[in-house]
Amino acid sequence: MTDFSFELLGADGGARRGRVTCAHGVIQTPAFMPVGTAATVKAMLPENVAATGAEIILGNTYHLMLRPGAERIARLGGLHAFMNWPGPILTDSGGYQVMSLSELRKLDENGVTFRSHIDGSYHTLTPERSMEIQHQLGSDITMCFDECPPYPSEKADVARATQLSMRWAARSRAAFVNRPGYGLFGINQGGVHEDLREQSAQALKEIGFDGYAIGGLAVGEGRALMFSTLDFTTLMLPTDKPRYLMGVGKPEDLVGAVARGVDMFDCVLPTRSGRTAQAFTRRGPVNLKNARHGDDPRPLDDHCSCPTCRNYSRAYLNHVVKAGEIIAAMLLTWHNLQYYQDLMADIRRAIESGTFAAFEADFQSQYGQGDI
Ligand X SMILES: Nc1nc2c(CCc3ccccc3)c3nc[nH]c3cc2c(=O)[nH]1
**Region of 10-18, 93-101, 192-200, 201-209 interacting with ligand X (CB under 6 A):** 93-101
Residue nearest to ligand X (CB): 247
| From candidates 43, 219, 317, 337, binder to ligand X by CB under 6 A | 219
> Which residues make beta-bridge pairs with 32?
265
User: How many residues interact with ligand X (rule CB under 6 A)?
Assistant: 18
Select which of 140, 263, 266, 301 is catalytic.
Answer: 266
Sign of CA dihedral 125, 211, 337, 226: positive
- In whole angstroms, the minimum distance from the beta carbon of 125 to ligand X comes to 11
Residues contacting 338, CB < 8 A, separation 6+: 52, 53, 304, 305, 306, 308
Nearer Cβ to ligand X (134/318)? 134
Is residue 347 a contact point for ligand X (CB under 6 A)? no
What residues contact 23, with CB distance under 8 A and at least 6 apart? 1, 2, 4, 88, 140, 179, 180, 181, 182
Decide if 146 is catalytic: no
201 near Zn ion, rule: CB under 5 A: no
216 interacts with ligand X by CB under 6 A: yes
Answer for which of 335, 341, 350, 351 binds Zn ion (CB under 5 A) is: 335
Tell me which DSSP letter residue 76 carries.
T
Under rule CB under 5 A, residue 66 binds Zn ion: no
> How many Å separate Cα 80 from the centre of its chain?
18
278-317: contacts with Zn ion (CB under 5 A): 304, 306, 308-309
Identify whether 342 is a catalytic site residue.
no
Does the bond joining 238 to the residue before it have cis omega, within 30 degrees of 0? no
Per CB under 6 A, the list member of 20, 246, 320, 344 interacting with ligand X is 246
Q: Which does 129 bind (CB under 5 to 8 A by kind): ligand X, Zn ion, none?
A: none
Q: How many CA atoms lie within 13 A of 198 on its CB side?
A: 4
Q: Closest by alpha carbon to 116, among 74, 79, 67, 73?
A: 67
Closest distance of CB 296 from ligand X, Å: 34
| Selection from 93, 131, 41, 106 nearest residue 329 by Cα | 41
Report how far residue 342's alpha carbon sits from residue 351's, in angstroms, rounded to the nearest whole number. 14
Pick out residues in 23-62 that bind ligand X (CB under 6 A).
35, 58, 60
- Helix, strand, coil share (%) of the chain residues, nearest 5: 45, 20, 35
Q: Does 247 bind ligand X (CB under 6 A)?
A: yes
Options 23, 57, 73, 148; binder of ligand X; rule CB under 6 A: 148
For 62, the enclosing helix (H) or strand (E) is helix 61-66
Binding site for ligand X (CB under 6 A): 35, 58, 60, 92-93, 95-96, 143, 146, 148, 187, 215-216, 218-219, 246-247, 266
Q: Which active-site residues does the annotation give?
A: 92, 266
Binding site for Zn ion (CB under 5 A): 304, 306, 308-309, 335
